[in-house]
Structure formats: structure tokens, C-alpha cells
Amino acid sequence: MKCKLSDICEYRKGKVNTSNLTLKTYISTENMLPDKAGVVEANSLPSTTLVQEYKEHDTLVSNIRPYFKKVWQAKHDGGCSNDVLVFQGNLNVDKDFLYYILANDDFFAYSMATSKGTKMPRGDKKSIMQYELQLFDIKIQKKIVSILKLLDKKIELNNAINNNLAA
């Protein structure tokens, strides 16, 4: 069944106090890695008191220069900069399936096509929620996720082997 992103998720709205964050739990566009490679520890915490909150299993997407394809599925609760979009799935979607939708190259191409600005394009939050996708029954979503996770683990293992050989 075809649907829009807004039918299966929303932007998380809560805030978290920066005093409750660590360098491991704060995410900004600077510590998100390009090409869907996840995140690294932040260099510093923001000077503001409150930042956007995220919860474990939310999907975080950098909203600046979408062509860098910075996306991460949260492994823990934390906070992030306003330049990071936090997607919270609803009951119609498996949290991992939502991550794979948002990590898809088609999503990033759409985000770029609807972005604003030229030097530092920024995704249009309203347009992003109009992104169309194919939604499957939750059982099928889980089957798709299980296959994609196996492929991700294989890629991770191959990258570790390559890094080991290079050393």
C-alpha cells in the first residue's frame, strides 16, 4: 500500500537539558558520518540549555546537505542539534523498517530535490513528510528488516576484515 511518511511517523518534539547529556549521547551534524556510516563521539556539548531529544530506536537524519546521507538509528536516549531531524515511528511501522526507509538513497534524492538553499541546502521539513513509500504488513516489514540486518552485519564484518588487513 502506498502512503506518505507522515502516515507512519512524526518528528519528535521533546527537549532535553544539555546537563543530562554526554559526548556520547549528543548528536550534531558534525559527529554524524556521511554515507550512512553512523556516528562518532561529539567533540563538545552545545552552550544552549535545551536541545532536541531523541529516544532509543528513533532515526536521526542530518537536515543540512542531505546529499551527505547522514543517518543513524539511536542505540540509546540523548539529545541533538536542531540541524538533525528526529523521526519517531508510530504503530503502523517497525522501527527498524522506518530506519531502512530513511536510509534509502531514494529518500535522500527526494530530500535534495525538495531542499531549500544552494550552498548549504537544507531539507524542507514539510516536504519530507510528503515522501511517498510502499508500506507493507508489519510481518513483512519484519522479514525485510531481518534480511537487511543480515546484509548490514556482513558488510560490517567485511569492513572490519579490510581494516585489519590494511593495518
Per-residue model confidence (pLDDT) at position 100: 97
Q: Same structural domain for residues 74 and 39?
A: yes
Provide mean pLDDT across the span 10-23: 97
Split into its structural domains, the chain has a count of 2
Q: Are 120 and 94 within 8 A, CB to CB?
A: no
In degrees rounded to 5, what are phi and psi of residue 40? -125, 170
Provide mean pLDDT across the span 154-166: 88
Q: Same structural domain for residues 95 and 157?
A: no
Provide mean pLDDT across the span 135-164: 92
62/93 Cα distance (integer angstroms): 21
Q: Same structural domain for residues 7 and 20?
A: yes
Per-residue model confidence (pLDDT) at position 134: 94
Per-residue model confidence (pLDDT) at position 160: 84
167/163 Cα distance (integer angstroms): 6
16/77 Cα distance (integer angstroms): 10
Per-residue model confidence (pLDDT) at position 121: 94
Q: Same structural domain for residues 83 and 164?
A: no
19/100 Cα distance (integer angstroms): 32
27/42 Cα distance (integer angstroms): 7
Per-residue model confidence (pLDDT) at position 126: 97
Provide mean pLDDT across the span 92-107: 97
Provide mean pLDDT across the span 100-124: 94
**Strand 9-11 with 84-89, pairing:** antiparallel
Using one digit for the tens of pLDDT, what is the confidence trace for 109-119? 999 999 999 88
DSSP 8-state secondary structure symbol assigned to residue 164? H
Q: Same structural domain for residues 84 and 161?
A: no
Q: Over 90: is that where the pLDDT of 136 sits? A: yes
Short-list 87, 85, 77, CA closest to 17: 77
Q: How confident is the model at residue 139 (pLDDT cuts 50, 70, 90)?
A: very high
Per-residue model confidence (pLDDT) at position 163: 87
Q: Are 42 and 49 within 8 A, CB to CB?
A: no
Q: Same structural domain for residues 105 and 153?
A: no
The whole domain housing 150 covers 137-167
Per-residue model confidence (pLDDT) at position 142: 96
Secondary element (H or E) of residue 158: helix 138-166
Provide mean pLDDT across the span 30-59: 96
Measure the N-to-C terminal CA separation of the chain; round to a whole number of Å.
48
Q: Same structural domain for residues 127 and 142?
A: no
Q: Over 90: is that where the pLDDT of 23 sits? A: yes
